[in-house]
Structure 1
Amino acid sequence: MILRRLRAIDWDDWTVAFDHSRSRALLMREYLRRSALWARHYGAESVWPFFDIAEHIVPCVQLPLDIASDLDAFLRGGIGPNSVERTVTGAVRWTELRRQGRTDLPDLPEPYEPLLLMYERGGGFYVDQAIDLNGVSLPRWGLDTAIAAPPFLTVGPATLDALDSDAKGKVTYFAVVEERFPRERPMGLIRRRAVGREPVTHDEAFSRNLRWEPTDYFDLYALGHNDTDHVEISEIEAAAFIDRVIQKYRQSRSS
């Protein structure tokens, strides 16, 4: 299953990577957070972040011969630098470890799934002074910084697509709030995009149509015509709102 997912990836399509740069950055951060938790638990700090977690749990874990052969052939095809190959190998070996039904693993989040999702949204990455995702660069966090990072748990494809949708320019998110709808569960979500060197502002609300649509909320607010207020929120908080709207829509369609 994992190898099937990996084979389906176009590892050289930079256009896809650029189009999905925001979700890929969030997914990489979540992988760094999760893998840091595993590295700390098993004393693998020196090889973190791009490593084979399974070998630090059961050094002698072996892949079935057919999977080992398929993995070797896949890697020979060329998918990127050693850091990418190590995590791909680690994801395959981790899947085998989980298949064995081990009951002695710590209660920590699945380590490789965010990274696999990131690969599926535009291929691999390169590591130099920063982590280059072909469209956005991330700083090379220390282990403690990664562990302390806020979790990014809303990783459904539709939510990730909404974050990436026409997300050009500098994007700032705002929750529309009032007494009954606090920041944690706002009544609406707006993003403001500042595009270009001499920024042109675009205000858009995430609508019940599950897409970003133009809004005059801020214009009306400035004129005193809105009874609601707003507060700036993080991209992770915005993703949580989007995910709730999508889930509610799906439930209403299935009922």
Structure 2
Amino acid sequence: MSNTPSRKVLNRLMVIDWADDTAAFQHVPSRALLMREYLRRAALWAQAYRAERSWPFFDIAAHIDATITTPLDVTEDLEPLLKDLAPASLRTTCSGAVRWAALRDAHPDLLEKLPDPYEPLLRMYERGGGFYLQEYLDLNGVMIPLRNVESNASTTSFVTLSPATLDALDGEGESTYFAKISNGHPRHSPRGIVRRRVDDDQTHDEAFTRNLRWEPTEYLKLYDLWHNDIDHVQITEIEAATFIETLTEKLAGTS
């Protein structure tokens, strides 16, 4: 059995529980962000190689170097996995990710200009399985619009793909994020972040602390009562993810 990059990707696919609805619901926010990032990256590759008509779920390697093949044992082991997957676009991306790994192995400089297209999608699959493609993309817990190549290519990038950061973005209900700002601590480098999470009509205010987890906070309630001098501004999930990852790296001494 080969131990090639394509085999490593296949091994990741083979251990995924494609019917794990519980995981899909537990990771709704992070899975949605990962899918949007795949759509953005795939759009960039489609534009670069004139493959807009094949976007969004396509074999990108085939448009770059059609001669690329995977080892025979990988191809043979991939076939039974694909047979049980639906829809067809899910099968296409799984085989495309395996072939992409072989392409990268043959062309090490491939990612100098554009990011790896399939990594966000692989991470999404690992956090609750696949998707259903209808008028909207159904991720089994959230539905997102496809839109078109141009609009996806121009969206904000989501580059924080570490499991710890993705886990921190998940939580039951709908979350709104805020950055605590002051002199010397602008929006892109806040004093801290908090979120208001609403689940089953219950409101939970939480701050991401130096313990690297969300903990209850009275900050937003005190602010509404004029008992807090620290200001805040609403931010996106992607901005919250950047703060979480930066703090994690700082406390780990890797930044």
Q: Which residue of 1 aligns with 2:167?
A: 161
- Number of residue-to-residue matches in the alignment: 248
Q: Which residue of 2 aligns with 1:12?
A: 19
State the alpha-carbon separation in 1 of the partners of residues 205 and 108 from structure 2. 50
Q: Which residue of 1 aligns with 2:47?
A: 40
Q: Which residue of 2 aligns with 1:142?
A: 148
**Segments of 4+ moved more than 4 angstroms:** 102-106
User: Could you tell me whether the CA contact under 8 Å between 2:136 and 2:145 is conserved in 1?
Assistant: yes
State the alpha-carbon separation in 1 of the partners of residues 235 and 16 from structure 2. 33
Select 1:209's aligned residue among 205, 208, 211.
211
**When the two structures are superposed, what TM-score results if normalisation uses the length of structure 1?**
0.93
Aligned pairs for 1:16-31 within 5 A: 16-31=23-38
Aligned pairs for 1:25-104 within 5 A: 25-76=32-83, 78-101=84-107, 103=109
| Root mean square deviation, CA, Å | 1.6
Aligned pairs for 1:100-115 within 5 A: 100-101=106-107, 103=109, 107-115=113-121
How far the C-alpha of 1:223 sits from its partner, in A, is 3.5
Pair 1:219 & 2:221 matched: yes
For residues 11-58 of structure 1, give each alpha carbon's deviation from its aligned partner in whole angstroms, at most 9, with x where no partner exists: 011110010011000000000000000001111111100000011011
How far the C-alpha of 1:246 sits from its partner, in A, is 1.2
Select 1:119's aligned residue among 114, 117, 125.
125
Q: Which residue of 1 aligns with 2:5?
A: none
| Partner amino acid, structure 2, of 1:27 | L
| Partner amino acid, structure 2, of 1:188 | G
Q: Which residue of 1 aligns with 2:186?
A: 182
How far the C-alpha of 1:103 sits from its partner, in A, is 4.4
| Structure 1 residues not aligned, in runs of 5+ | none
Identical-residue share of aligned pairs (%): 54
User: Could you tell me whether the CA contact under 8 Å between 2:104 and 2:110 is conserved in 1?
Assistant: no
Select 2:198's aligned residue among 194, 197, 201.
194
**When the two structures are superposed, what TM-score results if normalisation uses the length of structure 2?**
0.93
How far the C-alpha of 1:105 sits from its partner, in A, is 6.6
Report the more deviating stretch, 104-113 or 204-213. Answer: 104-113
State the alpha-carbon separation in 2 of the partners of residues 204 and 132 from structure 1. 29
Gap change, CA 1:65 and 1:202, over 3 Å in 2: same
| Structure 2 residues not aligned, in runs of 5+ | 1-7
Gap change, CA 1:105 and 1:189, over 3 Å in 2: closer
How far the C-alpha of 1:225 sits from its partner, in A, is 3.0
How far the C-alpha of 1:80 sits from its partner, in A, is 2.2
Gap change, CA 1:87 and 1:170, over 3 Å in 2: same
| Partner amino acid, structure 2, of 1:232 | Q
| Partner amino acid, structure 2, of 1:111 | P
State the alpha-carbon separation in 1 of the partners of residues 235 and 147 from structure 2. 22
Q: Which residue of 1 aligns with 2:175?
A: 171
How far the C-alpha of 1:228 sits from its partner, in A, is 1.2
State the alpha-carbon separation in 2 of the partners of residues 84 and 242 from structure 1. 31
| Partner amino acid, structure 2, of 1:221 | Y
Gap change, CA 1:59 and 1:195, over 3 Å in 2: same
For residues 164-202 of structure 1, give each alpha carbon's deviation from its aligned partner in whole angstroms, at most 9, with x where no partner exists: 1xx222211000000111000101110011222xx3321
